[in-house]
Structure 1
């Protein structure tokens, strides 16, 4: 017969067979921690332009490039109309096809897009307010920078903007806005990958050019009165 005065076993913190770990309840991850948070829009764009997922990046690049080429050949109204008409053609054709299949097979699967129709795609007031606040903050930064440039707070920076705008007049004489968007789109999807592959060499040559430009600007500021920045008192 077992001794009735023997103390009961207390589950240790290290755990053993038949005994649960006393600290497991504190260290166990909650169900909410297993859910991966939705990545921000900036992270999604970053993964697209760096071609982390080859199929997704290729699809986005091809579709957007085709859209820009269509805008270069046709008006915006025509492109949007044809795009929405193509989308409606696909959805209506699929709906009719599924209805015929269900009638022939005498099945009751319901609406083929029921899962998407019942999905909540409404934008919450918190999300809308967050996007508005972010956009307003960026807009205020841009307006502040433009006021500094056009009101000549820094003469050198304003002259740089003037030179850039003068060069853009020649660019605008050769290319229109859609052509520039197409070129920018191709560069956005190509330059980050090339830079990531040849980062060391590119940084070396960019540093040489930056030093040369900085040296020339310093010489011009020293020779032309009024261009040198005032030293803080």
Structure 2
């Protein structure tokens, strides 16, 4: 009885302290300390894919994100222009990579050879040919990052195939099916170029108009969830209910 009375008194003290603290805080806070309506609204705004970081951080930050978001317009335009030139060269003009590399090497060696021999007639020193080497560290870092991403993708596919998340499984199947359809329309180089162009356009457009895109994406996501709930109730539940789980267990016991 004594312990119960002590617990009751401590509970009453906590309630009184909370009430007093709430009254003191509400009376002492000024209008300047209250969050503005804009801050309260932005805290509740839906963000695409549930992100909490800026688009620059989502893309990994650093120079690649600067290029995709056009922080330096000259570099971004140069990268996109180079990719476009390569696509036109290989896809439209049907040029081959090995032929291009050989022709570039032939041109470079011929120019250097002619310059080296021309300097003998004009009494000038021969051109200094740089010692060309591929640095080992960036290649190893790229290989390590690529290996990590491939292993992570394989782990995700294995987790999805284990049957733990039906929604994620159906999403992956639908995505691979759409990708297979797109792949039948164009070859890998064109698909890679389209993805490269999308990386240079979609993030920067979304970053500029995210306040208009996010509400529309929220409505679309709610509609997708609603349709999935209907599909789950009408189709998946019936299909799963027809699986003879009890008969299989009886057969195993027998």
TM-score range (shorter-chain normalised) is 0.5 to 0.7
Change in Cα spacing, 1:176 to 1:92, as seen in structure 2 (3 Å) is closer
From 123, 144, 169, the counterpart of 2:136: 123
User: Which is helix-richer, 1 or 2?
Assistant: 2
Match status 1:170 vs 2:186: no
Please list, as runs of the form range in 1=range in 2, the aligned pairs for 1:216-231 lying within 5 A after superposition. 216-223=227-234, 224-225=236-237
The separation in 2 between residues aligned to 1:183 and 1:64, in whole angstroms, is 10
Structure 2 residues without counterparts, runs of 5 or longer = 1-59, 241-254
Contact 2:83/2:193 (8 A) holds in 1: no
Contact 1:50/1:193 (8 A) holds in 2: yes
Please list, as runs of the form range in 1=range in 2, the aligned pairs for 1:22-171 lying within 5 A after superposition. 43-73=62-92, 79-99=96-116, 102-108=119-125, 110-113=126-129, 116-117=130-131, 121-124=134-137, 130-171=141-182
Give the equivalent residue in structure 1 for 2:206: 195
The separation in 2 between residues aligned to 1:176 and 1:130, in whole angstroms, is 29
Contact 1:68/1:181 (8 A) holds in 2: no
Report the TM-score, using the length of structure 2 for normalisation. 0.57
Deviation of 1:123 after TM superposition, in Å, equals 0.9
The separation in 2 between residues aligned to 1:68 and 1:187, in whole angstroms, is 15
Contact 2:91/2:190 (8 A) holds in 1: yes
The separation in 2 between residues aligned to 1:145 and 1:95, in whole angstroms, is 51
Structure 1 residues without counterparts, runs of 5 or longer = 1-40, 229-233
The separation in 2 between residues aligned to 1:138 and 1:87, in whole angstroms, is 33
RMSD of aligned C-alpha atoms? 3.3
